[in-house]
Amino acid sequence: MAILSTDPARRRGIRNTALSSFFLGWAPILGKLAYSQGVTPFSLAAFRTLVAVLLLWTWYLLFRRDWLTPLRWGELVGCIAVGAINGIGSLLYYSGLSRLDASLASFLNTLYLLWVVLFLAASGQPVGRTTLLRIALAIGGVYLLTGGSKGEPNWLGAMLMVASAATFGWHLVMGQWLLADVPSQAATPYILTAMAATVGLARALQGRPVEPIPPGGWGAIVALGATTAISRLLMFAGLRRLGGIETALVSLLELVVSLGLAFLLLGERMTPLQWGGGVVLVGSILLGARERP
């Protein structure tokens, strides 16, 4: 299996990305809980990212100052670009999530895998047959997982989520190029800070006062901020070791996490067909054992 790879760096990359997927999987659930408390999409994106930045910088300054290595100007610009793209994507994501149910939003979000392959292929990176097989299996698993969805989707929400997936895929590709030269621990706080500045500016440009947010809403925002900080730190560490396509494939575990949490916390139910899709999805990831890193 991929997890049993003899390459220690690749094993760490898969472990970090899988853990990141667990925390990323909370996003649609916590987002829906925040919306139920009257939080608007742009406020959620802005405050969640601000909380994530504050938590991450506090942890760095208290416990990991050695990770704050100086960056060259070009590297810092790269971090800002990756963070800005991810910030735009988060605005699209939470705007789309407010119009869709959590399971459908999670399905559409997994399209970032196809965008990663498209962007990397356009840049000249070869894509092997095993990777294409894994993508086919992964998409098939996603289809089975979401095949039980009922009702017609909100098309504006669907388009926003597809656009979000494109920006997330592009941010993975840019992150792969950036992290080839910059340690992930050093880049992550700057990327997240640029992301917070982007969504904060967008919220300010709305020109509307912040809506009243009850304690339950703030609880969801803080929880979402914590999972954002942890997931980004783990994801960029995995991306540095695996590259964009492998990271995107392992990150599909996020969908399984989201659907499981929707079952437990939102009362959604998974059919046997959907569970079969989860098995196919995990199988597509474990098939990575047949690929040489």
Top mean pLDDT of 23-27, 37-41, 254-258 is at 37-41
The per-residue pLDDT for 2 is: 44
User: For residue range 81-130, what is the model confidence (pLDDT) as tens digits?
Assistant: 999 999 999 999 999 999 888 877 887 788 787 788 777 777 776 767 77
Q: How confident is the model at residue 1 (pLDDT cuts 50, 70, 90)?
A: very low
Question: How many C-beta neighbours within 10 Å does residue 133 have?
Answer: 14
Distance CA 143, CA 158 (A): 15
Lowest average pLDDT, out of 136-140, 243-247, 258-262, goes to: 243-247
Q: What is the pTM of this model?
A: 0.82
Contacting residues for 157 by C-beta, under 8 A, at least 6 apart: 95, 96, 97, 98, 99, 100, 105
Instruction: Provide DSSP, 203-248.
Output: HHHT--PPPP--HHHHHHHHHHHHHHHHHHHHHHHHHHHH-HHHHH
The per-residue pLDDT for 221 is: 96
Distance CA 150, CA 147 (A): 9
- What percent of the chain is modeled with pLDDT above 90? 37
Match 């810092």 to its residue by tokens: 76
Question: Does the structure show a pLDDT above 90 at 151?
Answer: no
Q: How confident is the model at residue 48 (pLDDT cuts 50, 70, 90)?
A: very high
- Spacing of C-alpha 202 from chain mean position: 20
Q: Where are the domains of the chain?
A: 2-290
Question: Does the structure show a pLDDT above 80 at 224?
Answer: yes
Buried b (16+ CB within 10 A) or exposed e, 108-119: bbbbbbbbbbeb
Distance CA 161, CA 97 (A): 7
Amino acid, res. 13: G
Q: How confident is the model at residue 293 (pLDDT cuts 50, 70, 90)?
A: very low
The radius of gyration computed from the CA coordinates of the chain, to the nearest angstrom, equals 18
